[in-house]
Amino acid sequence: MHTILIVDDEKRIRNIYAQLFSKEGLKVIAVSNAMDANDILLKEKVDIMLLDINMPEVDGSTLGEITNAFHKKTKVIVVSVYPVDDQEQIVKRAVGYYDKSQGLNELVKKVRAVLCNGVKKKILIVDDEQKACDLFSRLLNDAGYCPITKAGAKEALQYSKEHEKDIDLIILDLDMPELDGIDFFDVIKDVQPQVKVIIASVYPVDEQKFSIFDADDYYDKSDSNSILIDKINKLL
């Protein structure tokens, strides 16, 4: 599991980010100041640090320099009220910059991009149940894959069109509002016939095959997690 360290002196911001990235399947550590952050970096393997600039005692610029010098494996994304151009001048050599006036989705995209950098296999999870998305995301992270979660078929379809070459496999639920898994499968196979699809449903596998007979594999959600990972490994 990847670890993200949130460094911000505003408790409200820390709580928002912590909840957001816990749902993304990351281990979250949140601290209010640079000194505590440095202590964490000395003890823990941290993949990404979200770093505020304006903090008491030791500011984000100084912590950024310390991180670049002594914790080179930790990637820094600056999160600040300052415009991105100003952030780039204040904190050098960060891998990303985020203006807090932007939506949270933009921050999630930046974090995902850093985590997926160099990861060959990206898996799109399409399921309207948040618990299922969170579970699959954690499972795939632990298995070394890069999960991308979408809570509905319409949203997933739009993402697929924009990132056609980036998706190696899709885990697809059947029962979803507006656009169900069957219709999504028909559309996605028309535009991306090469993409692998595993149907993941509460229905038994025989019933799944009756609904979509030409998927690459099928997974009953009542089965063990290891069965799903085995199926993914065989396809990829």
pLDDT at 118: 60
What is the identity of the amino acid at 190? D
Average pLDDT score over the chain: 91
Q: Where does the pLDDT of residue 138 fall: very low under 50, low under 70, confident under 90, or very high at 90 and above?
A: confident
pLDDT at 119: 62
Structure tokens at 58: 């030791």
Residue 151 pLDDT exceeds 70: yes
> By percentage, how much of the chain surpasses pLDDT 70?
99
pLDDT at 125: 95
Cα separation of 160 and 166, whole Å? 8
Domain 118-235 has CATH 3.40.50.2300: yes
More confident residue, 119 or 167: 167
pLDDT at 39: 95
Tens of pLDDT, residues 36-51: 999 999 999 999 999 9
Q: Could you tell me the residue ranges of all domains in the chain?
A: 3-115, 118-235
Query: Which residues, listed in sequence order, are joined to residue 146 by a DSSP beta bridge?
Result: 122
Cα separation of 61 and 191, whole Å? 46
Cα separation of 196 and 63, whole Å? 43
Tens of pLDDT, residues 74-126: 999 999 999 999 999 999 889 999 999 998 988 988 898 888 776 668 899 99
pLDDT at 195: 93
pLDDT at 98: 94
Tens of pLDDT, residues 4-34: 999 999 999 999 999 999 888 789 999 999 9
CATH topology of domain 3-115: Rossmann fold (3.40.50)
pLDDT at 120: 65
> By percentage, how much of the chain surpasses pLDDT 90?
65
Cβ contacts of 155-160, under 8 Å, gap ≥ 24: 156/124, 156/126, 156/184, 157/184, 157/187, 157/188, 159/124, 160/124, 160/188, 160/191, 160/192, 160/195
Torsion angle, alpha carbons of 9, 112, 145, 168, to 10: 170
